[in-house]
Amino acid sequence: MPSPRTETVWIAQLLRRAGFGCTPQELKYYKSLGYEGTLDELLNPKNVDNAQLETAIREQGFDFTNSNDLRRWWLYRMTFSRRPLEEKMTLFLHGHFATSDRKVRNPHAMYLQNLLFRKYALGDFHQLLLNVSKDPAMIIWLDNQQNRKGKPNENYAREVMELFTVGIGNYGEADIKEAAKAFTGWQTRPEGFFFNKNQHDNSVKNFLGKSGNFNGEDIIAILVKHPATGRFLARKLISFFAHENPEKSFVERVAGAYAESKYSLCAMLKVIFNDRSFRSDKTYHAKIKSPAELVVGSLKVLQIENLDNDLPQMMGAMGQDLFHPPSVKGWDGGNAWISSETMMERFNFAARAVGMRFDELSATATPTQLVERQGMKNSLDLVNYFCNLLVDGDIPRSARDRLVEYASFDPDGKKVSMMEDERNLDAKLRGLVHLIMTLPTYQLT
């Protein structure tokens, strides 16, 4: 059953799932559009002017041959883009077509692959898969450079079925061998994709019940049209954007959009975000934030403008090192994000983020001025404001009471008048926000 929560709550959830959250100003703007208007804007990023971001990126002077700069560039994009779903889908595709620079050893090739993901993020999956199959980073990553006539390398042929399209159980070993022969000669040179016709196997191949002198493009066309591909993609997209273990009927609805739209990722996402279950208790605060969602979402909600250079490394310590997925399967996600080690890293990041925010604010306003702007007059006002800002107010009454107690008393149990003491107020504000960011609810999206 749909939840009785307000439209504002569902807009905020949509912005967390279809993006990385929002600043208070962005939420106010999207509220003016309503849920349907917000979704329409997210699904049509080309209609949103992102020139300010591109100008700011040029001014940053990122070096795309440097791995650290590459990660900083993408974190900057995720934080400040006015096209959040475009970036979130780029992140999804980075996990779906998981490629690591630890093997590719070419940050610029990884940069070009990231641009490719962004170009087709809400586009035609057929064209996306075709271009990914010819992508230099992917060719190196899955060894198609060594795939030659008479000595086929099966790595890409296997993964294009197991991980990118139909999934396990919908092909056999013979299909892998035949597909590998079709991809022979698909190589890369410094200038990009190169078809080495002298190394291509022109024999007849028998693939998924079809026969012909297939090349790689033929294999891709067969896979894209296969009914299992729509269901495979639907299940992954629902799990990433909505909730784990989706019902078969939900998967079939999203897969139906894939087939009816001739392989549009945008059409699939529209069904997901419009589904009744997306605005229900089944989905609300039901997924653990990935490190990217935690870091970027915190930067946005706290309105941090100056990003520390080591933030990508902090994300890596939490388990998500951009451009370095752990395997061809990408990141497991879900409960795998949480361990005693990664939770400590999350709490350390929370402390860093709070310090970054209040240090920025202290240059323009005193703590008293900050609380007065929001009409906060006592400890309860402080707690309610920051709980609403950071977790939609979704915390147990007992936790809220403890936060009020923290804000009202010193460590010795003496009631404090922090509103009259700038130093005490500053310390309490920092401590309060940090405590909320370490709550279980803050780890959920």
- What's the pLDDT at 98? 98
Would you say residue 401 lies in a domain? yes
Would you say residue 386 lies in a domain? yes
- What's the pLDDT at 404? 95
- What's the pLDDT at 418? 63
pLDDT in tens, 257-311: 999 999 999 999 999 999 999 999 999 999 999 999 999 999 999 999 999 999 9
Residue 399 lies in domain: 291-443
DSSP-based three-state secondary structure for 188: strand
Would you say residue 414 lies in a domain? yes
- What's the pLDDT at 2? 40
**Cβ–Cβ < 8 Å for 442, 403:** no
- What's the pLDDT at 422? 84
Question: Phi-psi region for residue 115, left (φ > 0), alpha (ψ -120 to 50) or beta?
Answer: alpha
Would you say residue 54 lies in a domain? no
pLDDT in tens, 339-393: 999 999 999 999 999 999 999 998 888 888 988 889 988 899 999 999 999 999 9
Would you say residue 59 lies in a domain? no
Count of domains observed in the chain: 1
Strands 210-212 and 205-207: antiparallel
Would you say residue 326 lies in a domain? yes
Give the integer Cα–Cα distance in Å for 89 and 266. 10
Residues lower than pLDDT 50 in the chain: 1-3
- What's the pLDDT at 123? 98
Would you say residue 25 lies in a domain? no
Rounded alpha-carbon distances, angstroms, from residue 26 to 48, 137, 211, 358: 14, 36, 54, 20
Question: Phi-psi region for residue 316, left (φ > 0), alpha (ψ -120 to 50) or beta?
Answer: alpha
Would you say residue 122 lies in a domain? no
- What's the pLDDT at 4? 62
| Global pTM value | 0.97
**Cβ–Cβ < 8 Å for 394, 441:** yes
